[in-house]
Amino acid sequence: MAARREWVAAALRVTPVTGSRWTAARAATTMLAALLALWLAGALGHAAYATFGAFASVYGGTARSPRRWRLQAALGALLTTAVATGAAVGTLEQRAWLSVPVAAAWAAGTAWLSDRFAWRPPGPMFAVFAVSTCAAIPTPPGRVATAVLVAAATAAFAVVLGAAEASLPGTAAPAPPAPAPPRERRRLHAVRCAVAVALAGAVTTASGLGHPYWAMTASVVPLAVIELHHQLLRGLHRVAGTAAGLAVAAGLLVLPLPVPATLLLVAALQAGAELLVVRHYAAALVFITPLALLVGQVADRRPVPELILSRFAETLVGVGIGVAVAALTRRRDPVVSGAG
């Protein structure tokens, strides 16, 4: 009974955090500016590429630091490369199956880099999401350069905002870098992520589910934390938050909103997600889930019920595989890692 109460308390616990409003404002501004530019150019079909470039804005933690924009620039370049890789796979006829080993390789590499350089937020999730989603989009060869340009321009805008923010009064001195976890821990994390992504991608591609990249992305979420009970809790948050977010999305997606209003809503959801993601991951997913579906719909409209069911089913598959990999490969001795 005591263990159950502790589990419930952990699931409901809200972590206090300061400075998240800066991250929320930066991320929302980046997203809105990129999508408005695409809309004005009549190119909202490229919205996914802008979204992945905009992920550069969330890196570096919440404290304003003159060093943070360098990390954002490095991650912006990496995410742009992920978009380029995915778009190149998207030009191939066998992209559905080829995306699985490509995403697994990216999962391994970025998991290792995240641990080695103490990325915040940690883990390979954004890179896996970018490469696997772009690989799933049928892409004429001439469109690869456009995808790269859109992602790079959006990431560059995020970096400029981050650098400008660091020049404001009250910027903190750079925090000392977190120590890298042991080499064995980095290797284990990389292998776990690669296996989870490969299994999630293979299962959902073979089953004919429409969006294997959702399962591949969800599979690495539990692995971003260390101990098994934390991984189970992160998986629970992913599933419960996605379910609640899908209920919100079901209402929003049927509203007859004009495009500018939809883009403003996307920016507001991005801000809400960043305000909550460190405090309570499941609560943040109430914003993240409709955000992802709205961005997809402005680029390429799909039947809403199909989207809702597919998102939930593939989240369940991905989280289940990620937790299973974590359980089967758990260490018996406690290890301190920067991946948590």
For the stretch 201-213, pLDDT in tens is 999 999 988 899 9
Q: pLDDT at position 176, please?
A: 62
Tell me how many domains the chain contains: 1
Summarize pLDDT for 9-43 with one digit per residue, the tens.
666 677 766 667 888 999 999 999 999 999 999 99
Here the tokens at position 13 are: 């616990």
Check the CA dihedral 282-166-110-187 and report its sign.
Answer: negative
Spatial CA neighbour of 315 closest among 246, 253, 256, 225? 246
Is 340 a domain residue? no
- Examine the pLDDT at 63 and tell me if it is beyond 80: no
| Helix intervals (H) in the chain | 2-12, 20-40, 47-54, 68-90, 95-117, 125-136, 144-166, 183-207, 212-219, 228-253, 259-276, 281-299, 304-328
Q: pLDDT at position 12, please?
A: 65
Is 289 a domain residue? yes
Is 25 a domain residue? yes
**Which residues are within 8 A (CB) of 252 and not within 5 positions of it... i.e. 6 or more apart?**
265, 290, 294
Is 91 a domain residue? yes
Q: Which domain holds residue 246?
A: 18-328
Mean per-residue pLDDT of the chain: 89
Task: Answer with the residue of higher pLDDT: 337 or 238.
Answer: 238
pLDDT category at 220 given cuts 50, 70, 90 is very high
Q: pLDDT at position 221, please?
A: 97
Is 93 a domain residue? yes
Is 12 a domain residue? no
Measured CA angle at 191 (ends 119, 224), to 5 deg: 35
Is 90 a domain residue? yes
What percentage of residues in the chain have a pLDDT greater than 70? 88
109-113, 279-283, 317-321, 323-327: least confident range: 279-283
Is 336 a domain residue? no
Residue pointed to by tokens 């995240």: 114
Rg of the chain on CA atoms, in Å: 19
Burial of residue 16 (number of CB atoms within 10 Å: 0-12, 13-18, 19+): exposed
CA 63 to mean position of chain CA atoms: 20
Summarize pLDDT for 147-197 with one digit per residue, the tens.
999 999 999 999 999 888 877 766 555 556 667 777 888 999 999 999 999
